[in-house]
Amino acid sequence: MSSKGSAPAKAGLRVGVIGAGVMGSNHARVLAGLPGVSLVGVVDPSTAHRTRATELTNCNSFETLDQLFAEGVDAVTIAAPTHLHHEIALACIAKNINVLVEKPIASTVEEGREIVAAAQKAGVTLMIGHVERFNPAVAAVKQAIEGEDILSIAITRVGPFPPRMSNVGVVIDLAVHDIDLIRWFTESDIVEVQPQLSSAVAEREDIALLQFRTASGVLAHINTNWLTPFKARSVTVATRGKYVMGDLLTRQVTECFGFKPDGSYSMRHLPVGHDEPLRAELIAFLNAVRHGETPAVTGDEGVASLEIATRCLETPSRPAAVSPARKGPRRVAG
């Protein structure tokens, strides 16, 4: 009996990648190495992007979506610019193709909701690429706080200005990752936002200090910018019984616990896996496609995080009133 006959019906999933920039090329690289996956090819209007992707993966490349559709695909990952997500996702869903959309799900909440509704109606798998959930350090933090009474969360995500960025600021590019993590850690919706934004160098906001309160009462803040000369990514979570610190770049997670009245406590390093986050994410997506299961990050979750990020951009910060007497130098009485 041949092994081919005993393989699951969808073992050899035919997958395409739409968008062959930095992220899309990484998608193609990972998919090309996954067992049970046939990388049909990448789509990108740019000749240079297509050349880079094919050199990296030795796969076919196409200039248009229709050329990819003609080859036949079971699933696609969409890593095109955000403003194209809506149009591309709807075109794929109309062909009954399962879709992973890179974060954010779309340019607007309304477009995101339309993608979710179309996928539900067609009965196809829709997953959103909030890849930070698949960072082994984030998974270790999540496991450490399971069942704990969370009090506060602080996340720092800073670095230099990215040359590839053009049409969004730090809130949509960076902070949307951490908005998703706050919702995931707390398993609660964000009900209050207090943003402080500044455009110091870029046209759009390049500094954001964001404060939140969840429905469960957790206070959280995100510090993000494009002004730091090096990358830093860290998460700290305070609960009634623990203080957990995670460095998302070095993947070190430390837990403080056993607090005593005299101020002493115990510390330990937690075990952290070595998976490549993108590989773990794509495997999770393809497993959801194969088994018809709810994906790890649903379309509704992607919309919810985009909605909070959008509220951060729309909420006006209220400047403190400055009395006229305080404008000049202080006069010393006497």
What structural domains does the chain harbor? Answer: 13-129 (3.40.50.720), 132-276+298-314 (3.30.360.10)
Q: What is the dihedral of CA 25, 29, 35, 40, to 10 degrees?
A: 50
- pTM of the complete model beyond 0.85: yes
Query: For residue 144, how many C-alpha atoms fall within 13 Å in the half-sphere facing its CB?
Result: 30
Helix, strand, coil % over all residues of the chain, rounded to 5: 35, 30, 35
Q: Can you give the pLDDT of all 334 residues of the chain as single tens digits?
A: 333 333 334 448 999 999 999 999 999 999 999 999 999 999 999 999 999 999 989 899 999 999 999 999 999 999 999 999 999 999 999 999 999 999 999 999 999 999 999 999 999 999 999 999 999 999 999 999 999 999 999 999 999 998 766 678 999 999 999 999 999 999 999 999 999 999 998 889 999 999 999 999 999 999 999 999 999 999 999 999 999 999 999 999 999 999 999 999 999 999 999 999 999 999 999 999 999 999 999 999 999 999 999 999 997 655 555 545 444 444 444 4
By CB atoms closer than 10 A (0-12, 13-18, 19+), residue 140 is: buried
Instruction: List the beta bridge partners of residue 71.
Output: none
Q: How far apart are the C-alpha atoms of 235 and 261, rounded to whole Å?
A: 26
Maximum distance among all Cα pairs of the chain, rounded to whole angstroms: 103
Q: How far apart are the C-alpha atoms of 31 and 49, rounded to whole Å?
A: 17
